[in-house]
Structures are given as C-alpha cells and as structure tokens.
Structure 1
Amino acid sequence: MSDAVAIGPLVLPWTFVHLCIAVAMSSAVATLLARRRRQDAGPLLWRCLLVALLFARLGFLYQYKELYVEHPLSILNLRDGGWSPEIGIIAMWMYATFRLRNAPGLRVPASVPLAIGTTLIVAGQLQLALQPASVPLPPLQFTRLNGDRLDLAAPDGKPVLVNLWATWCGPCVREMPMLAQAQRDRPEVRFVFINQGEDADHVAKWLSAQRLMMDNVAIDERRQASAAFKQAGYPTTLLFDASGHLVAKRTGELSEPALQAMLTRLR
C-alpha cells in the first residue's frame, strides 16, 4: 500500500486523509449530540484541533531543533511531513480536560467526538505502521547518466535511499539540493535518484543548469520504479536497510529534519 492516495491530479498523504476523515466524523457526531443535548461543543472541538496541530508541529520542531536553527525558514514548510501525532493528541486531551473541568454540560458533547476522532487517527497510524516492512528492493536495472548500469538490488552492505523524481515536479526541484548535500554528508547510505519518464539528455542538461552534482542518477523513461513501488506521486522517497528491506517511505517534499527523521529508522 502506498503512503499517499491519488485523487485525479491531486496526491494526498494517507495521514492527511485520516485526519480529514477523523475531523469529519467528529464534527458529524458533535452536531448530532448538540441537537439532542442542546449543548454545542463545536467551538471547543475546533480549538482542540488547533491545539493538536500546533503541538504536533512543535513536538517535531523541538526534536530536530538543531537542524531547524540552521534553516529557520523550513519551519514554515508544513508539507514536509514534520509532525508528531502522539504529542498533538496528548496536548489536545490535556487542553480539553482543562476546559471541561468547569463545564459539566459539555463533557459528553465534547468527549465523545474527541474520542472518536482520536480512535480514527490512531487506527490510521496503526494501519500505516503495520504495512509489511519486509518488502525487498526490486531487482530492477537502470542506466546511469554516465552510461553505466545500475542494479538497484545489488548488495553492497549499505542502506539504500531511493528518490523518485522528475524535473517538472516543483517539490522535487525544491528538495533536490538538500538531498544532494545529504548524499555527500552520508556516505554510509547509498542514495539513488531515479528520474521518472524523462530522457537522459534532458535530465543531464537540467542538472547542469541547476549546478547539481550527484552520483547514482538513473533514467527510468518507462517509470518501472513507480510501478514496482506502487507510488502515486512525486517526489517519493523510500528507505531500505542494509538487508534490502523497506523501513520508511514518504510521498511529498522532504525537509532536512524530515529526512533525518527517516534515517533514524535505520537504528
């Protein structure tokens, strides 16, 4: 299963879809309870959602604060996957408990929707976490820009980070300099950049124009990698351990802290 869902040209991470479903279900239940009990917990529930999102982001920022200090503007990049859902949920319930201590009439209208939303979020996270982690690197072969063959599944004793990208993809373009630097900084990880659907001449000219120097840039005009990994959009980054088993994946733009969070899965 991919970690994103394609709706026409729009590609949404499953975590975002789970959040939308949880909010929709909680809102529906809150509306029903408000009609029956004549107590509207809607404003409180929306504040709880804002608290959850704020602290989920702050929790991740604190965990990788050294990297965000070096690149402070990346704090504003809310699409980088940098969230700590467990911290957000804890903060949300603490806030709700505090606000409900003197409002007994709102306890049921607020607590029931919050419990339903929390259950759906946790179930969604478990669904993603319990996906088969033993998916191996597929035995695909590509041609590097220098003409050499690249055997994706060739054992070399290193973890492998695979990035599927294209020059027309805005998020791919934005994250590429960071990934190029990470390749230089992390020689213990084999970085493989597999361009999807474009020819070698175009990719080489684009990289030269961007002044990007990277190893293991491969051409996949038929998009075999996208089919093998069942990925819905670009950029897609997949991390395999030294034995060739999938340990993390991300569809969407990565920041340096988000990449670091992926690499910690290797420990």
Structure 2
Amino acid sequence: MTAIAIGPLAIPLPPLLLLISVLLGLLVAALVGRRYKVSVTDPLLTLLLGSLFFGRLVFIARFADSYDTIWQMLDIRDRGFDQGATLLAAVLILIWLIWRRRQQRQALLAGVLTAGMLFGVFSSVIYVGRQQAVLPAISFQQLNGDMVNLAKLGQGKITVVNLWATWCPPCQREMPVLQQAEQRYPDVLFVLLNQHEHPEIVQQYLQQTGLQFNHLLLDQQGRVATELGAHGLPVTLFFAADGQLISSHMGELSAATLAHSLRQLVVTEQ
C-alpha cells in the first residue's frame, strides 16, 4: 500500500506515519514534562525541523545536477531527503539539547524514543507488506491494440511503472521527467500505465504534448492499483530485476527523487 484513501483524497503513507509518530512523541513528551514541570515542545520541534533541513540540504547537494531552479530545490513536495543525513542530524541535535537542557532530559528522551520506535514499527510493517508485492502478471493493451504481459515485459529488468492519467496535473508535470529518464537510463524499463482512459484520449494527449515512450500501456480497470494498493495519482512503483517491489512514490516525482530511487534500485541489485 502506497497511500491511504480518505474520500476523494489519497494521502502518501510514509509522511502520514511520520506525522502520527511525531504527534504521539510530542504527547508522551508533554506528559513526562508535566511530571517534571517542564515543556519540551519547542526543543522537539527544533530537533525535527533541524534534522529535516539538514537532510534536505544533503539531498540537494547529492543531486544538484537534477535541479534547474532554486524553486525546485525549495519545493519539498517531492519528499527528497537524505535519510542518513537526517538521522545523523537528529542524533547530534538531540545530544546538544540534552547537554544544554538537563532539566528537560527525561521528557526529551521519552518523546524522541516514542516517535522513533513507532516510526520504526510502521516502517517494518510497510517493508514486510512490500516483500509480498511483485510485478503483476497482467496483460494490458498498447495504443496499437496489441496485448503485453507486464511481468513478462519486465522479466530480468529493473522496472519503473508509473500510474497516470491525462487529467492529472501532477502526472502532466512529471511526464517530461520520466521521458528524459527513459533516455538517460537505457538499461531500466519504464512502463507508463494509463489509468481508466480510452486509447483515443491518451493518443490525443501524447500528440498535443509531443511526448513519446517506448512502453505505454492502458489499464482501463485500474487492476495494478487495486492489486498493489496504489491509491491516488500519480504513483510510481520501482521493481527489481526479479520482479520484487522495492519502493514506491505517491505524488509528483522530481528528477532528483527519481534519480535517488533508481540509485537505490541499482544498489539493491548489486
């Protein structure tokens, strides 16, 4: 599952679980702080924002060639954060806070440990669920009418499957990024899997935009989204060469986040 559907809205799962973990951590810290008659809300928010800020800076530095403008660097909707740098910053800031705010030490540790343990459990559950997800052996129609089996198409190849629709603005914005990536990474199979639309609508959109992809398939019943719990659009699924789902991204991809996910895939294959 990549997201939770709430009515017409689809909320990406990892950020939602991080938010829940942080809120519960703040609650525990507040309860412990009340016992010692101290408040730790501001230090904990400093810890959270400071570590995320550092993680973003490191991510931008690693993928600087994927950003064209300052605005793209500032736009955190792509959720591009270096996890190692974020964790390191969190540990260093926590040590500094404990050293400077000894009266708040117990509450700080209680809040951080609660948030960290909860997010760790949530992440483990997601990982276990992902281990059971593979590239579906479902046949889909191409624009020329031919049928293609998705699992056979991706057999033995690192595969990126993007779920999209012509009416979806984030999908429209990320399509050029995917087209450039298909040209840049010839050893990676990119599959653009249109959702619930008639072939003529898709063909007309491609002609208007000048976009071209080697593998564009039509999932008119949304079978992949249903099988893998991929709610909302756009959704990008990253599969290893053995067909195992390695990661997913719900929402608009930037060139940097796509490059990051592909790099993780290559490392997994090694």
SS of residue matched to 1:194: strand
Query: CA offset at residue 18 of structure 1?
Result: 1.6
Q: Distance in 2 between matches of 1:96 and 1:213?
A: 49
| Unaligned segments of structure 1, at least 5 residues | none
Corresponding position: 1:99 with 2:97: yes
Q: Which has the larger share of helix?
A: 2
Superposed CA offset, 1:159-217 (max 9, x none): 22111101111211110011011112222122111110110111111111112122211
Query: CA offset at residue 146 of structure 1?
Result: 2.2
CA contact (8 A) 1:195 1:217 kept: yes
- Which residue number in structure 1 is paired with residue 150 of structure 2? 152
Corresponding position: 1:23 with 2:54: no
Cα 1:32–1:203 change in 2 (3 A) is same
- Which residue number in structure 2 is paired with residue 173 of structure 1? 172
SS of residue matched to 2:191: strand
- Which residue number in structure 2 is paired with residue 220 of structure 1? 219
Paired residues for 1:1-267 under 5 Å: 2-68=1-67, 70=68, 72-133=70-131, 135-154=133-152, 157-264=156-263, 265-267=265-267
CA contact (8 A) 2:40 2:107 kept: yes
State TM-score, norm by structure 2. Answer: 0.90
The farther-off stretch of 130-139 and 106-115 is: 130-139
Q: Distance in 2 between matches of 1:201 and 1:10?
A: 27
CA contact (8 A) 1:26 1:114 kept: yes
Letter in 2 for 1:61: I
SS of residue matched to 1:130: helix
CA contact (8 A) 2:2 2:229 kept: no
Superposed CA offset, 1:18-53 (max 9, x none): 211112112212221232211111211111111122
The farther-off stretch of 3-12 and 148-157 is: 148-157
Q: Distance in 2 between matches of 1:89 and 1:204?
A: 45
Q: Please identify runs of 4+ aligned residues in structure 1 that moved more than 6 A.
A: none
Query: CA offset at residue 86 of structure 1?
Result: 3.8
CA contact (8 A) 1:4 1:14 kept: yes
Letter in 1 for 2:85: I
Work out the percentage of aligned pairs sharing the same amino acid: 32
Query: CA offset at residue 13 of structure 1?
Result: 1.8
Q: Distance in 2 between matches of 1:24 and 1:61?
A: 27
Cα 1:115–1:51 change in 2 (3 A) is same
How many pairs are equivalent?
265
CA contact (8 A) 1:51 1:91 kept: yes
SS of residue matched to 1:79: helix
Q: Distance in 2 between matches of 1:18 and 1:174?
A: 26
State TM-score, norm by structure 1. Answer: 0.91
Cα 1:100–1:229 change in 2 (3 A) is closer
Q: Distance in 2 between matches of 1:82 and 1:195?
A: 25
Q: Distance in 2 between matches of 1:157 and 1:27?
A: 46
| Unaligned segments of structure 2, at least 5 residues | none
CA contact (8 A) 1:89 1:118 kept: no
Q: Distance in 2 between matches of 1:95 and 1:132?
A: 32
RMSD: 1.9
Q: Distance in 1 between matches of 2:224 and 2:109?
A: 45
Query: CA offset at residue 54 of structure 1?
Result: 0.8
Q: Distance in 2 between matches of 1:153 and 1:170?
A: 28
Query: CA offset at residue 134 of structure 1?
Result: 5.5
Q: Distance in 2 between matches of 1:57 and 1:249?
A: 19
Q: Distance in 1 between matches of 2:197 and 2:129?
A: 31
Letter in 2 for 1:140: I
Cα 1:144–1:194 change in 2 (3 A) is same
Q: Distance in 2 between matches of 1:204 and 1:210?
A: 10
Q: Distance in 2 between matches of 1:190 and 1:128?
A: 25
CA contact (8 A) 1:247 1:266 kept: no
